[in-house]
Amino acid sequence: MTSLNFVICLFITVFIYFIFIYSFQNFLSSNGFVHRDLAARNVLLGENKVVKISDFGLMRQTHENVYHLKKGKKIPVKWMAPEALYNSEYTTKSDV
């Protein structure tokens, strides 16, 4: 396999993983939930290259697609979306 073929194969594989993660996120948001910690460290690769999402400890149910964070809660500031930091609200868009 040439290096160009390897790069193309790798790109296609990563794109397929992206589609799985997107489908999961779409499923969550359509059911009124926000994950709040969707990061590469929480994406697992199972048998037969099945993508699995983990760490649902920060997941919350939204009200009209928005979850408002209560003051005084500890949060992972390093990985938060700017709008979640400034407005203390999470949306399905801040999960991206």
Sequence-distant (≥ 6) Cβ neighbours of residue 83 within 8 angstroms: 89, 91, 94
Is 95 one of the catalytic residues? no
Q: What is the DSSP letter of 64?
A: T
CB of 42 closer than 8 Å to CB of 54: yes
- Single out the catalytic residue among 37, 67, 91, 92: 37
* Residues involved in catalysis: 37
